[in-house]
């Protein structure tokens, strides 16, 4: 399945005609060499794994809806989806920027170590699960179990959060503006500090959002699960 034939210099792929393999191979091995920095992708038609594994300073614009794992494991690149994204958008991202102009399905930004994931609309279940240092800004609301076991990084939720927000959190911090249906095990509301407000203001500005940081609450770990003990709640 590996396509090893050289591809012509290009700045546009139409997945109605071009293969996903050709697109990803070009992005991985040739775009930077060709000096191409901006690539347009048309007719993604829900394809999975578009622009995954990028490792160069590229600007990829995807016009339409995408399937699973768009921009998965991204490094350095900026990827914009002008549409909705399936599960695992920007999963395990290390750096760069991924912007979903529409809605995102489950596990957006899962285990992402760095970079910025922006979702203009809502994000479904488990947004930011196992987060390891990236920033996620959600313009809308998030589904249940968002930030489950999130270890580091920041999640900004401009809308509401469903059940079990921040369950089993480690060191990640959540800023939520709307209603929280319930907090997960070991998550708690904490007072916003000046540092929080400054960080939040910067994240909102990077995401093109104009909300007042004063409207947000901070959720972080109570750290009662950091060490095994007999009275820890093990039936969340």
Partner 1 sequence: MTGPQMEESAGFDRSIIDYIQRAAATGLYEIRGLGAKRRVPNFDDLLFLAASLSRYPLEGYRERCATKTVLGTRFATRPIELAIPITVAGMSFGALSARVKDALGRAATEVGTSTTTGDGGMTAEERASSKTLIYQCLPSRYGFDPDDVRRADAIEIVIGQGAKPGGGGMLLGQKVNPRVARMRTLPEGVDQRSASRHPDWTGPDDLVIKIKELREITDWEKPIYVKVGATRVFNDVKLAVHAGADVIVVDGMQGGTAATQTVFIEHVGIPTLAALRQAVDALEDLNMRGTVQLVISGGIRSGADVAKALAMGADAVAIGQGVLMALGCNSDTYVAGGQHVSAVEDYARLGTAPGFCHHCHTGKCPVGVTTQDAALELRLDPAVGAKRLRNYFKTVNMELTTIARACGKQDVHHLEKEDLVALTVEAAAMAGVPLAGTSWIPGRPA
Positions touching partner 1 (CB under 8 A) are 1-2, 20-21, 24-25, 28-29, 48-49, 52-53, 55, 67-69, 72-73, 75, 87-88, 91-92, 94, 106-107, 110-111, 113, 126, 129-130, 132-133, 148-149, 151-152, 168, 170-171, 225-231
Choice between 29 and 211, CB closer to partner 1: 29
Between the CA of residue 45 and those of 16, 48, 62, 178, 187, what are the distances in Å?
A: 8, 9, 10, 33, 38
Residue partners of 29: CB distance under 8 A and separation at least 6: none
Least separation in angstroms between residue 38's CB and partner 1 is 21
Choice between 49 and 207, CB closer to partner 1: 49
Choice between 64 and 115, CB closer to partner 1: 115
Choice between 40 and 55, CB closer to partner 1: 55
Least separation in angstroms between residue 73's CB and partner 1 is 4
Least separation in angstroms between residue 10's CB and partner 1 is 18
Choice between 130 and 141, CB closer to partner 1: 130
Least separation in angstroms between residue 233's CB and partner 1 is 12
Residue partners of 85: CB distance under 8 A and separation at least 6: 65, 66, 70, 100, 102, 103, 104, 105, 108, 119
What are residue 14's DSSP bridge partners?
42
Structure tokens at 234: 């093990």
Structure tokens at 191: 């007072």
What strands, in cross-sheet order, belong to the sheet with 97-100?
A: 12-14, 38-42, 59-63, 78-82, 97-100, 116-119, 132-138, 152-157, 173-176, 217-221, 187-190
Least separation in angstroms between residue 199's CB and partner 1 is 18
Least separation in angstroms between residue 49's CB and partner 1 is 4
- Of 71, 6, 72, nearest to 39 (Cα)? 71
Choice between 187 and 204, CB closer to partner 1: 187
């Amino acid at each position: 399945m590996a396509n090893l034939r050289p591809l012509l210099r290009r700045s546009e792929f139409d997945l109605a005609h071009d293969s996903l393999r050709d697109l990803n191979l070009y992005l991985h091995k040739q775009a930077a060499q060709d000096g191409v920095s901006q690539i347009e992708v048309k007719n993604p038609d829900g394809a999975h794994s578009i622009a995954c594994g990028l490792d160069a300073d590229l600007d990829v614009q995807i016009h339409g809806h995408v399937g699973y794992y768009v921009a998965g494991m991204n490094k350095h690149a900026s990827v914009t989806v002008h549409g909705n994204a399936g599960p695992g958008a920007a999963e395990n991202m290390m750096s760069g920027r991924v912007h979903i102009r529409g809605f995102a399905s489950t596990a957006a930004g899962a285990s992402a170590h760095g970079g910025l994931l922006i979702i203009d609309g809502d994000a479904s279940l488990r947004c930011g699960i196992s987060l390891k240092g990236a920033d996620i800004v959600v313009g809308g609301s998030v589904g249940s179990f968002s930030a489950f076991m999130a270890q580091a990084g920041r999640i900004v939720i401009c809308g509401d959060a469903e059940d079990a927000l921040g369950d089993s959190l480690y060191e990640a911090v959540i800023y939520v503006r709307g209603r929280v249906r319930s907090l997960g095990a070991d998550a708690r509301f904490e007072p916003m500090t000046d540092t929080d407000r400054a960080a939040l203001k910067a994240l909102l500005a990077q995401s093109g959002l104009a909300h007042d940081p004063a409207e947000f609450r901070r959720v972080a770990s109570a750290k009662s699960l950091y060490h095994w003990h007999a009275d820890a709640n093990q039936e969340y």
